[in-house]
Amino acid sequence: MLEIHLAKLKVDERGRLVDITTLSPYELRKLIEYYETKLRRAKSSIMKQLYHGILLDLKRYMISGLVPTRVDALTFARYMGVKSVKWFIEYYWKGSCFTPEDPKILYIENFSKRRANYKGVELPPDDLKIEIFKLNDAGQIHMVFKKLAKYYSVPCPTIVEKEDLNLDLAALYDPVTRIIIFNLAKIENSLDKFALSLRTFFQHLSNMKGWRFSEDIEGHIIQEKIEAKRFCESILEELVRLGYLKKKA
């Protein structure tokens, strides 16, 4: 889960994301002083709430050594490359400044809203398969998702490209914010990126359609990944048939 990775990060006075578990006692105190100043100067109630919560996390860590299990909106927005944290809070998190203490709660809530049993999905027509393959080769990953979203009549997800050596995954989809992150540090070539695009788009499509793959959340997550892989492999096989990819030996 991305939330577990981000929970120990905070934005410092230079706007950098820092791992609080690597800070010296002096650096931690300076970070606390920075947020105390931010809190005193904050004018809106939502920013006061945000800075107050960040201070609670930092002081609890300083006193007890307990690493936060929730993520603050400032950290999440900075990681995503969003400049306005207030806009991020209102648009993505619907007024919340923090994720729940247990990040699984968000995924359980998302699962509970899914009502449609999955009955399969039709693949895009040949001309669209070829078009998105060429767009990926040209480095236009955002257009790949726009084309697929238009064909399947769903909102386009937000695409974020980063290099994060500390994140184990090459790509992930967050069903709550509808954000797809590509970790460029873990992606070797454009074909790998295309395959990841197809898999994560399927997860987004599943989220938007409210598909449920199992009556329990663990089974649902496992089966959704299987179906995402099947969706990806089916399109790649079609591109082999169309002469745009070579069949693997």
Which of residues 55, 77, 102 is at a domain's end? Answer: 102
Q: What percent of the chain has pLDDT over 90?
A: 76
Taking the C-alpha atoms of residue 164 and residue 6, their distance in angstroms, rounded to an integer, is: 11
What's the pLDDT band for 137 if we cut at 50, 70, 90? very high
Average pLDDT rounded to a whole number, residues 152-174: 91
pLDDT tens-digit series, residues 32-90: 999 999 999 999 999 999 999 999 999 999 999 999 999 999 999 999 888 899 999 99
Q: pTM for the whole thing? A: 0.82
The burial of 191, by beta-carbon neighbours within 10 Å (0-12 exposed, 13-18 middle, 19 or more buried), is given as middle
Domains of the chain: total: 2
Q: Range of 59's domain?
A: 2-102
Query: If you search the block for the tokens 């002081």, which residue do you land on?
Result: 59
Q: Residue 22: which residues within 8 A CB-CB, separation 6 or more?
A: none
What's the pLDDT band for 1 if we cut at 50, 70, 90? low
Average pLDDT rounded to a whole number, residues 130-150: 96
* pLDDT at position 9: 95
- Same domain for 220 and 152: yes
- Same domain for 122 and 229: yes
* pLDDT at position 234: 97
Look at residue 21 and tell me if it is in a domain. Answer: yes
Look at residue 32 and tell me if it is in a domain. Answer: yes
CA angle 114, 119, 122 (to 5 degrees): 110
pLDDT at position 249 over 70? no
Beta partners for 182? 161, 171
Average pLDDT rounded to a whole number, residues 222-243: 96
- Same domain for 228 and 124: yes
What's the pLDDT band for 190 if we cut at 50, 70, 90? very high
Look at residue 223 and tell me if it is in a domain. Answer: yes
- Same domain for 123 and 231: yes
Q: What's the CATH number where 199 sits?
A: 1.10.10
SS (H, E, C) the chain: CHHHHHCCEEECCCCCEEEHHHCCHHHHHHHHHHHHHHHHHCCCHHHHHHHHHHHHHHHHHHHHCCCCCCCEHHHHHHHHCCCCHHHHHHHCCCCCCECCCCCHHHHHHHHHCCCEECCCCCCCCHHHHHHHHHHHHCCCHHHHHHHHHHHHCCCCCEEEEECCCCCCCCEEEECCCCEEEEEHHHCCCHHHHHHHHHHHHHHHHHHHHCEECCCCHHHHHHHHHHHHHHHHHHHHHHHHHCCCCCCCC
- Same domain for 122 and 54: no
Look at residue 229 and tell me if it is in a domain. Answer: yes
pLDDT tens-digit series, residues 83-113: 899 999 998 888 999 998 887 787 888 888 8
* pLDDT at position 121: 95
Look at residue 109 and tell me if it is in a domain. Answer: no
- Same domain for 128 and 55: no
Contact 54, 35 (CB under 8 A): yes
